[in-house]
């Protein structure tokens, strides 16, 4: 493959849905349509002859023949060896799989493993670690570092010959199709490198008050200013539509957005896995307040919200 344009047509011929990406690894277009349709030859030519395009990404999932990738972010591993350690484990358990899977080196010296499987899912974090005290001193908002994650349905993965990417084993012409049990093995081995246990915040951690506007948490759910609250905690507002306001999380990230607030449902949804919020889970306004202001303590959040004029003071009788 001598150029991105040639590669784009080749990958399409091999059954992949492809999109262009810029130097910052972001697509210059609204790419979600290509989760259900393949880009036309005309659009491919127009996109990949644009001089600002620096890479090519495959839209993972069913549209690309049940295509999935494991993404190893070696730069987040203090030893820079998370992929090598995983690969040794895989070789111990399934040497044939370790020797046959398509593997690439990424722009940031991380690694990708590519495969197809009849059973895949949406993207998920498999292993992460808490930031060190030194890292937190540099950036107190980046509390969790992702080590290994899947890129599946509704995800994209940048592939060679994108700038800075190269295959180090096999390629994608006849990418290996693995069994669901083999995929489960890959994920199990990856989870074995997880060093972070996410905090669990249960509704039972705050008083069971009547569900009325007299309750500060309920009152804040109904009329609290979530957008200003997020902005005051360094969530950057990227853009807004009549339905949603989109945010990028605090700290360094290559992603354009990290979550959004649905105005009518009054629900904050985060897809970034590098925050204290539970990824891909709806959070009502009082939960956003509790997470950002009170480390997940809903009792403390209720007390503070009363002081801010939400609800009424509650006393046991």
pLDDT tens, 127-149?
989 888 898 888 776 778 889 99
Cα torsion angle, 276, 280, 286, 289, sign: positive
Over the chain, what is the mean pLDDT?
Answer: 88
* 150 and 209 fall within a common domain: no
Q: E strands along 10-120, which residues?
A: 18-21, 55-59, 67-72, 102-105, 111-116
* Token pair listed for 313: 């003071």
Same domain, 222 and 183: no
Q: Residue 291 — φ and ψ, nearest 5°? A: -65, -45
Cα–Cα nearest to 24, from 58, 55, 46, 60: 55
The reply to whether 317 falls in a domain is: no
| pLDDT over 90 at 188, yes or no | yes
Give 193-228 pLDDT, tens digit per residue: 999 876 544 433 334 444 455 789 999 998 899 998
Do 37 and 128 share a structural domain?
Answer: yes
- Assess whether the previous peptide bond of 161 is cis (omega < 30° from 0): yes
Q: Which residue has the higher pLDDT, 94 or 213?
A: 94
Over residues 100-121, the mean pLDDT reads: 95
* Together in a domain, 89 and 47: yes
Can you tell me the distance from the alpha carbon of 5 to that of 217, in angstroms, rounded to the nearest whole number? 54
Mark whether 133 and 220 lie in a shared domain: no
Q: What is the mean pLDDT of residues 99-120?
A: 96
Q: Judge whether 59 and 33 are in contact, CB under 8 Å.
A: no
> Same structural domain for residues 84 and 177?
yes
Q: Angle of helix 41-48 relative to helix 4-13, nearest 10 degrees?
A: 150
pLDDT at 206: 38
Cα radius of gyration rounded to whole Å, the chain? 22
Quote the pLDDT of residue 199.
Answer: 56
pLDDT tops 80 at residue 231: yes
Determine the structural domain holding residue 244 and report its residue range. Answer: 203-307
Compute the distance between CA of residue 279 and CA of residue 271 in angstroms, rounded to an integer.
5
Is residue 208 one of the residues assigned to a domain?
yes
Residue 31: inside a domain, yes or no? yes
Domain boundary among 191, 225, 249: 191
Q: Beta strands 67-72 and 102-105: pairing type?
A: unpaired
CB atoms within 10 A of CB 43: 15
In the chain, the number of structural domains is: 2
* Distance between CA atoms of residues 60 and 114, nearest Å: 10
Same domain, 11 and 98: yes
Q: What is the pLDDT of residue 314?
A: 52
- 33 and 150 share one domain: yes
CA-to-CA distance for 199 and 305, rounded, in angstroms? 22
- The CATH number assigned to the domain holding 264 equals 3.90.580
Count other Cβ atoms within 10 Å, centred on residue 31: 18
What is the Cα–Cα distance from 220 to 218, expressed in whole angstroms? 5
**pTM, to two decimals:** 0.71
- What would the pLDDT profile of 143-171 be if each residue is shown by its tens digit? 788 899 999 988 899 999 999 999 999 99
The burial class, CB within 10 Å (0-12 / 13-18 / 19+), for 37 is exposed
**pLDDT reported for residue 302:** 92
Q: Are residues 145 and 224 in the same domain?
A: no
Collect all residues with Cβ–Cβ distance below 8 Å to 72 and sequence separation of at least 6: 82, 83, 86, 110, 111, 112, 113, 147, 148
Q: What is the mean pLDDT of residues 225-235?
A: 89
Burial of 203 (0-12, 13-18, 19+ CB in 10 A): exposed
Q: Where is the domain boundary, 191, 219, 242?
A: 191
Question: Does residue 252 sit in the same domain as residue 144?
Answer: no
Tokens 């060093």, located at residue: 195
Same domain, 266 and 130: no
Asked if 215 and 67 sit in the same domain, the reply is no
Q: Report the 10 Å Cβ neighbour count for 93.
A: 13
């Amino acid at each position: 493959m001598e150029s991105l344009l040639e590669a784009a047509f080749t990958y399409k011929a091999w059954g992949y849905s492809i999109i262009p990406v810029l130097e910052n690894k972001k697509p210059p277009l609204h790419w979600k349509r290509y989760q259900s349709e393949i880009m036309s030859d005309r659009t491919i030519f127009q996109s990949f002859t644009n001089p600002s395009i620096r890479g090519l990404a495959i839209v993972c999932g069913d549209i690309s023949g049940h295509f999935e990738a494991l993404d190893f972010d070696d730069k987040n591993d203090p030893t820079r060896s998370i992929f090598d350690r995983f690969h040794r484990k895989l070789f111990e358990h399934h040497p044939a799989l370790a020797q046959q899977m398509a593997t690439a080196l990424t722009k940031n010296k991380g690694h990708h493993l590519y495969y197809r499987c009849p059973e895949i899912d949406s993207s998920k974090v498999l292993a992460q670690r808490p930031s060190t005290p030194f890292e937190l001193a540099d950036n107190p908002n980046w509390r969790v570092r992702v080590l290994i994650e899947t890129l599946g349905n509704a995800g994209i993965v940048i592939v060679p010959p994108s700038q800075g990417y190269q295959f180090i084993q096999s390629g994608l012409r006849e990418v290996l199709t693995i069994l669901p049990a083999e995929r489960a093995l890959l994920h199990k081995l990856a989870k074995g490198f997880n060093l972070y246990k996410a905090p669990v915040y249960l509704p039972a951690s705050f008083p069971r008050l009547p569900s009325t506007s007299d309750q500060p948490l309920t009152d804040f759910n109904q009329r609290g200013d979530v957008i200003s609250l997020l902005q005051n905690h360094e969530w950057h507002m990227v853009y807004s539509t009549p339905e949603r306001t989109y945010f990028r999380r605090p700290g360094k990230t290559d992603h354009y957005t990290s979550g959004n607030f649905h105005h009518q449902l009054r629900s904050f949804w985060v897809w970034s896995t590098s925050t204290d919020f539970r990824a891909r889970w709806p959070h009502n306004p009082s939960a956003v307040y509790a997470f950002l202001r009170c480390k997940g303590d809903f009792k403390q959040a209720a007390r503070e919200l009363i002081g801010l004029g939400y609800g009424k003071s509650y006393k046991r009788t």
